[in-house]
Amino acid sequence: MSVLNICKYLQKQGFEITYMPVDKQGMVDPEKLKDEITDKTVLISVMYANSEIGTIQPIREIGKIARENQIYFHVDAVAAAGKVPINVKEENIDLMSISSNDMYGPKGMGALYIKSGVKIQPIIQGGGQEGGLRSGTENIPGIVGMSKAAELAREEMADPVR
């Protein structure tokens, strides 16, 4: 819903949004995605995995399409982080959002990966925390908790017995 709600907001601001259909398994067809790209396309945003039906999108293929067309690629990896291996470089991901509570970490914590060289505008002006992108006092206990949850999730993924 988070990606969908942002798209609806941007649409109200005058941006043209293309919503991609999915098949019965909830998959985006990369070939259909290619057909929808125009010279005005600046961003492709896709959920890595659907937590309700378990669909895992062809992120590497979509990322390649984005790279070939010089389009930024955002991945909502909330449902995938800590459960499936993610390689932002190999999958050509420019921006990726994750959440701590889906990795059994502290609720209310999230992170945004931003590829080096990708420039985005801050959403809150002020003290310059979070690399100048989001001002406000940083939640150090939450950050440490999320880091530990990610570390444990990574260890569990590496252990084939679990």
Which tokens hold the place of 133?
Answer: 């992108």
**Is the overall model pTM greater than 0.85, yes or no?**
yes
Full residue range of the structural domain in which residue 38 is found = 2-120
Instruction: Determine, yes or no, domain membership for 94.
Output: yes
Instruction: Determine, yes or no, domain membership for 141.
Output: no
Instruction: Determine, yes or no, domain membership for 110.
Output: yes
Instruction: Determine, yes or no, domain membership for 96.
Output: yes
Q: Which residues of the chain register pLDDT less than 50?
A: none
Instruction: Determine, yes or no, domain membership for 138.
Output: no
What is the tally of structural domains in the chain? Answer: 1
Which tokens hold the place of 93?
Answer: 């991901």
The pLDDT tens digits of the residues spanning 26-37 come to: 999 999 999 999
The pLDDT tens digits of the residues spanning 40-56 come to: 999 999 999 998 999 99
Q: Which pLDDT value is given to residue 124? A: 72
Instruction: Determine, yes or no, domain membership for 39.
Output: yes
Q: Which pLDDT value is given to residue 134? A: 72
Q: What would the DSSP string read from start to end of the chain?
A: -HHHHHHHHHHHTT----PPPB-TT--B-HHHHHHH--TT--EEEEESB-TTT--B--HHHHHHHHHHTT-EEEEE-TTTTTTS---TTTTT-SEEEEESGGGT--TT-EEEEE-TT-----SB-SS-TGGGTB-S---HHHHHHHHHHHHHHHHHHH-TT-
Which own/partner contact pairs does 52-55 have at CB distance under 8 Å and 24+ positions apart? 53/25, 53/26, 55/22, 55/25, 55/26, 55/27
Q: What would the DSSP string read from start to end of 74-89?
A: EEE-TTTTTTS---TT
Instruction: Determine, yes or no, domain membership for 55.
Output: yes
List the CATH number of the domain containing 90: 3.40.640.10
